[in-house]
Structures are given as C-alpha cells and as structure tokens.
Amino acid sequence: MHTRKSFLYRSAEKIKALALTGLSLPLIIKNLNAQRSGSSLPELVAMRGGKGPDDLFSRGIEHLGGINRFVKRGGTVLVKPNIGWDRTPEYGANTNPDLIKAIVESCRKAGASKVYVFDHTCDHWRNTYKNSGIEASVKAAGGEMIPANSKSYYREVSIPGGVTLKKALVHRVYLDADTVINVPILKHHSSTMITASMKNLMGVIWDRYAWHRMGLHQCIADFAALRKPDLVVIDAYNVMTRNGPRGYSKSDLVEYKYLFMSADQVAADAAGAMVLAQSSGIKTPRDIGHIRIAEKAGLGSADLDSLNIKRIVI
C-alpha cells in the first residue's frame, strides 16, 4: 500500500543513495585512475644512493604516480616532519631540511594553495624550528611554518576503534588539511625501539606524555587509524642507530642513504624497522609493538615479502 509515509521514506532512501554516490564519485574515479595507470603502481618505493634524500624524493615520486596523485590543485597540504629536537641537521635527530624543501616545493608546483609545516616539538619549539634548518627551508620553498606550542591550536576528537586511546587533542591543521604527507626521519628510539612514520604522529597531538603512561605502542597504533596520511616519506639517509631519539653525537649515525615512500604507513615503517634490524635485536618488523598492532588492526601491511616493492638504486 502506498501511503504518503512510505513514499516519503522511499524518497529519502533514494536521495541518500544518490548523495552517497555523488560524494564517493571522486573517490571512485580516483581508484579507477589508480587502476588504469597500472596496477603496476608499487605499494612501496624503496630508494638508495643519490645525492641526498631530496634528490631521491624528486627521482622517486613519479613511481608512486607523481605528487599530483596526492595533492589537489587549490587544496591545503600538511607536511609533517620530525622536528623534535633542538639539534642541527648533521646529528640526524630531525628530518633532513633539504628533503622538506623538495617536498614543499613539489606540493606548491602541484598547485597546493597552502603548504603547512609544524611539529609539536620536545625541545623548545622556536629553537628547534630554527636550528633544524627546517624553518628556513619551508620559507624558501613557499610553505608556511606554523606553531604547535599552544593547546589553543588543538581540537579534541575521538579515536575510532581506539583500544587504549579513546580521545586525543589533535592539531587542527592535521585534521583539516586536504592532504597529509608524513615525513619522519628513521631513528632508533630508547622506548619504542624505532621511530618512523606512526611514531612521528605523536607530534600532532597535544598531550604526548599521556601516551607514555598509557602505553606507547598501543596509543601509537590506535592513533594511526584516525587519519591515515596520504603519503609517507621516510628519511633514512643518515640513520641514528643508537642513543635515539635525541642522539648524542654524529657517531650515532650510519649513512645508509635510504628513502622509503608509500601510501601505506605500516609498510613504510616495516621497511624502516628492517634497516634498524641490522644494528639491533629486531628480526622482523612485527617485533615492534606498534607495527604489529597496527597491522592486526588492518591499517596496512608489514609483510614486506608479499608487498609490491619498487627498488631503485642510484
């Protein structure tokens, strides 16, 4: 029987369906495009050699479909390096400033309206921004270095599926940017064994010490589900293999000359873990708590043997 009520119900259903299709259309097209440009797109690009991490990025990004795959014309981008420590670039405690410069530049070239860069630093933020060389790099490349030192920049969100971490105060720009590019530096870490991309996201939340007491690995993995970065670029050129994450001297570094790029943060971190495996007791990426938990939660794959990896040695 067609009553007015049921008619309205069915109409509402149809409108909903239409709206959903409309909303997800760009996503579908994007997926189709990705498929057309070849299922040949690798899940992980692993690079080695070159003149520096910036050189490797410029040469390698094409293999992931180019920066335009990630950056929308007119959109906003957050490039999130690791700028935790008041140390100069040669100590390898922060992401290489030249790499940040290359990434910001390419985002601008791709038509990004704004490219933001920040980190909620461990040491005093102003010194850290300056002495890491990243502030100058970002300015030169046409990006905007923004502060993260005040609670007023953060917004509380609930973490979907969070086991330990249910809520977090997250930097607004991380939540609002159209594209997030996570650019950590690979380092040894005294508590979590490695720090790469997922650990680097501790720099977009306000109360990082809460994670220390709630259990780092579970919190890191929980948070990684909130918003998967669109692209992960791991600077593993000069790798701090001990005394991390701050490091003491240049003797803590090994010049491996690697750079890993992926849209899968778990895969990227797994590659990083295997680099540090050479100087530690790590055997497989799953030895790292947060990688193991994140993979189980379906955030990505740590199975380096079955991933489609493009290896490039320059």
Partner 1 sequence: MKRLRLLRIIFSAAVTGLIAFSFIDFHEIIPLSLRSALLFLQPGPSFINFINGPALAAAGFIFIIGLTIIWGRLFCSFLCPLGALQDAASGMNKKRKYSFSAPWTRLHFGIFIGAGISILFTGTLLFQWIEPLSFFGRFAGHVIAPAAVQINNFTGKFLASMNIYSLPVINFRSISYFAFAAALIPIIALSFISIRYGRLYCNTICPVGALLALAAKFSFFKIGIDSEKCIACGKCENVCKSSCIDYRNHNVDFSRCVACFNCIDKCPNGSVSFTKKARSDNEESADQESVTQYSIFTPQISRGKFLAGLALLPSGIIFAGENSPLIYYKDEKSQVKFSRKDIATAPGSIDRKRFNSSCTACSLCISVCPTRVLQPAVMQYGLSGITQPFMDYDSGYCNYDCTKCGEACPTGAIKPLDVKTKRVTKIGEVHFILENCITNTDGIVCGACSEHCPTKAVYMKPFRDDLVIPDTDVTICIGCGACEHVCPVRPVRAIYVHGIRSHKTADLPEEEKQKVIIEDDFPF
Q: How far apart are CA 311 and CA 176, in angstroms?
A: 33
For residues 138 and 145, is the Cβ–Cβ distance under 8 A?
Answer: yes
Among 30, 109, 124, 167, binds partner 1 (CB under 8 A): 124
Q: How far apart are CA 278 and CA 134, in angstroms?
A: 29
Binding residues with partner 1: total (CB under 8 A):
58
109 in contact with partner 1 (CB under 8 A): no
Q: How far apart are CA 253 and CA 144, in angstroms?
A: 30
Among 140, 207, 296, 308, binds partner 1 (CB under 8 A): 207
Q: How far apart are CA 121 and CA 82, in angstroms?
A: 8
Q: How far apart are CA 121 and CA 18, in angstroms?
A: 45
At residue 254, φ and ψ (nearest 5 deg) are -125, 130
Among 81, 246, 259, 301, binds partner 1 (CB under 8 A): 246
258 in contact with partner 1 (CB under 8 A): yes
Give the range of 4-12, 25-33, 104-112, 143-151 binding partner 1 by CB under 8 A. 143-151
Neighbours of 147 (CB within 10 A): 14
**Residue number with CB closer to partner 1 (65 or 147):** 147
Helices and strands in the chain, H and E counts: 11, 12
Of 270-299, which residues contact partner 1 (CB under 8 A)? 270-271, 274-275, 277-279, 289
Q: How far apart are CA 12 and CA 195, in angstroms?
A: 48
Give the range of 1-9, 14-22, 206-214, 221-229 binding partner 1 by CB under 8 A. 206-214
**Residue number with CB closer to partner 1 (108 or 120):** 120
Q: How far apart are CA 134 and CA 79, in angstroms?
A: 11
**Residue number with CB closer to partner 1 (95 or 195):** 195
Residues that bind partner 1 (CB under 8 A): 46, 48, 86-87, 122-124, 126-127, 131, 144, 146-147, 149-153, 189-192, 206-207, 209-210, 212-217, 241-243, 245-246, 248-249, 251-252, 254-256, 258, 270-271, 274-275, 277-279, 289, 304-305, 309, 311, 313
